[in-house]
Chains A and B, each alone.
Chain A
């Protein structure tokens, strides 16, 4: 296998691992926060339903954590296995956040184990809440640290290059690079948003399937409310990310927007297709790109034609941008309508078609996460470290990457199918009605 093939297969394998991992990782970042909030609301309102909500979510969460942990281990090792030259170079500058990420993960793992196996040990629910805080903190901090690593790849700084060697390293400066604030914030809030909608989607599904239990209605209201808050945050930070790109990574913004000529009063292009360099059937929103890039309609946005041909990302990332933004907007409208409907007593929010939309909302949000990451990662091509190392120079020289690709594909198929089967079995067999009844008999048993 020549170098070109090794690079190609390494890219495919990395993309496959990450795309699979982020489904479980995103849920893994957001759900602990939801569990903690549900436990807190349960204590505040003295409502057993919320405490049960926290427990049932945790049970499902353990399965997703397991897959998240093992695929996370896979990508952690694949970084060195597939991109040894990159890790050798970047390890000098970016090892600190990578190292801190394992601490956050460690912290989460310890307290998740404790929380899970002390469910019935303490009478006081506040103790259970205290155990959930480090779980949620650990989950969010591991996302923060690992996103810092990715931000560094987009905006490397904190070192000087002398004769091809990195010298004068400043680890903290490398961590707090320009891409870091928007990226970390966007990753966090979109993970919370996605988790809220995934859980909302489950509640809506149970209601659609005929259970009319109050528990599901409370779950739906809780998750849609939380989802709305984080969707608003995601949209606002998404706008900041656009401004970051215009300032520091203009080629990514230009490729995502099919913006060829440098000009002021730039329109934002939504949808459309590209044929022989011509944009067709697109929706053009005047001035919107200038506003996205800098906040003023006359701002001059750098076009793709100003960059070297071999340093611009592929143009298909525009479709990824469209998918991400469209789903974000859709979820915003859907959750606003739900909250407003509750408040104004509109009946359509309990209709079948509306609940079906919420059911689709969960998977759609995950799709938006995937699209967003593909946009971010492919938008960095051809660089692995923007401006410093190209992807083709970073890959392994090993000749067995294609075989490994097949092996890992098999693994992810098994894990994907396995986790779906196990999760659906867990909750289909033990419905909320069943669990509430069991708890009553258990308590009666203790009294005897």
Chain B
């Protein structure tokens, strides 16, 4: 395996990590707001707060890790994506900033007005939408190279069915992933009411999620035929992914093994995400940038991989400690310990 492939695999893995835990986070904010609107907040808020509080900061680091890593391994991405993404990414940063600090302000500082809960819930849905634009752009067709540098064609982007399908997929996936996780978490906490509510939401969002995912493959046929062909070559990976999806829905329907259901869901998204990634190879931005012409020099790549391994040796035990103390600690999850800061 070449250094380039190792580099992009590492980054893809971290991006996947971010997508899963950020989806839980964004979705939790939305369900919290929605349940307030429906007068069911008392059922969900405690469960959601207990999960989010110790991990909200860690979620953010996954994102930072990804964008620092991609500029490190592939410095040319800074030139192409940096120039074209100023507006959408700035909007995402502002929403992330308001959301992150609002969370700390309310959780620790006692600012608790209804309006903020709504803003918090809704902003969480705009973030995946504004970040998913990057995926659309990477498919090519929206960026032209002018003499001054790369330019993004906003009109084309906003009128493209592909980019809208990707936005809709990001939204349904966020809600589906989050609902399944919270079903399991609430069940873990022996909170029957919350489990039932989240189970209902999981089943509601399962359909739209798988429908939009399939829709994108159809859109791709018209937008980027080369990529479409490579996607079809990997049909078996998507087939496995679909089987896992069916498994998750079955377990939820039967009200059994919610932990396994979340595991299958992670597997489903991992397979689809990596199959998509592999079919994208070797392009970072079709057709201007491949992972080969955008790669950093060999000395830096080796140093980065060493730093990455050393960092993981430090991080994995710490992450396991965090999970054991909070996610897998029944006393904590059930709220039997006083854990107020």
State A169–B83 Cα separation when bound (angstroms): 26
- Tally chain B residues at the interface, Cβ within 8 Å: 73
Contact indicator A81/B339 (Cβ below 8 Å): no
**Interchain CA distance A77-B339 in the complex, whole Å:** 34
**Is B318 part of the binding interface, using a Cβ–Cβ cutoff of 8 Å?**
yes
The reply to whether B339 and A113 form a contact with Cβ atoms under 8 Å apart is no
Question: Interface SS of chain A: helix, strand, loop or mixed?
Answer: helix
> Which residues from B are CB-within-8-Å of A423?
109
B76: shortest Cβ distance to chain A, in Å? 6
B interface: dominant SS: helix
Contact A397 B83 (CB under 8 A): yes
Contact across chains for B300 and A171 when beta carbons are under 8 A apart: yes
Contact B97 A119 (CB under 8 A): no
> Does A177 count as interface, using CB distance less than 8 angstroms?
no
- Chain A 165-176 near chain B by CB (<8 Å), digits 1 or 0: 011011110000
Contact, CB under 8 Å: A121 / B96? no
Q: Which B residues are in CB contact (< 8 Å) with A73?
A: 60, 63-64, 93, 96-97
- Whether the Cβ atoms of A111 and B318 lie closer than 8 Å is yes
B73 at the interface (CB under 8 A from A): yes
B255 to chain A, nearest CB (A): 30
Nearest-CB residue, chain B, relative to A430: B110
Q: Are B307 and A103 in contact (CB under 8 A)?
A: yes
> Which residues on B sit within 8 Å (CB–CB) of A171?
299-300, 303
A95 touches B296 (CB 8 A): yes
CB of B75 within 8 A of CB of A119, answer no
Contact between chains at B78 and A100 (CB < 8 Å):
no
Bound CA span A85–B63, Å: 22
Contact between A407 and B337 (Cβ–Cβ < 8 Å)?
no
Cβ–Cβ < 8 Å partners of A169 in chain B:
297, 299-300
Q: How far is the CA of A27 from the CA of B91 in the complex (A)?
A: 27
Asked if residues A96 and B303 are in contact (CB atoms below 8 Å), the reply is yes
- Which of chain A's residues has its CB closest to B308's CB? A99
Q: Does A414 contact B (CB under 8 A)?
A: yes
A411 interface neighbour in B60, B69, B97, B318, Cβ under 8 Å? B97
How many angstroms between the C-alpha atoms of A218 and B210 in the bound complex?
61
B82 at interface by CB-CB < 8 Å: yes
Q: Does B86 contact A (CB under 8 A)?
A: yes
Name the residue on A nearest B91 (C-beta): A407
Which chain B positions have C-beta within 8 A of A400?
86-87
- Smallest CB–CB gap between B71 and chain A, Å? 5
Distance from B325 Cβ to chain A, minimum over Cβ atoms (Å) = 6
* Smallest CB gap from A442: residue in B: B338
B56: min CB distance to chain A, Å: 8
Q: Could you tell me the distance between the alpha carbons of A151 and B311 in the complex, rounded to whole angstroms? A: 23
B58 near A110 with CB under 8 A, answer yes
List residues of chain A with CB within 8 A of the CB of B315. 103, 106-107, 110
Q: Most A CB atoms within 10 A — which of B69, B93, B319, B332? A: B93
Contact in complex: B339, A398 (CB < 8 Å):
no
CB of A436 closer than 8 Å to a CB of B: no
The proximity string for A residues 112-123 relative to B, scoring 1 for CB distances below 8 Å and 0 otherwise, is 111011111100
Name which residue of chain B comes closest to A407, CB basis: B94
Residue-wise interface mask of A (87-104) relative to B, using a CB-CB cutoff of 8 A (1 in contact, 0 not)? 111111101101111110
B148 at the interface (CB under 8 A from A): yes
Is B105's CB under 8 angstroms from A106's CB? no
A408 with B303: CB separation less than 8 A: no
Whether A397 touches B297, Cβ cut-off 8 Å, given contacts A95-B304, A426-B110, is: no
Cβ contacts A to B, 6 pairs, < 8 Å: A76-B64, A77-B89, A80-B82, A96-B72, A117-B54, A398-B84
Residues of B within 8 A of A (CB): 53-55, 57-58, 60-61, 63-65, 67-69, 71-73, 75-87, 89-91, 93-94, 96-98, 100-105, 108-111, 148-149, 151, 296-297, 299-300, 303-304, 307-308, 311, 314-315, 318-319, 321-322, 325-326, 332, 337-341
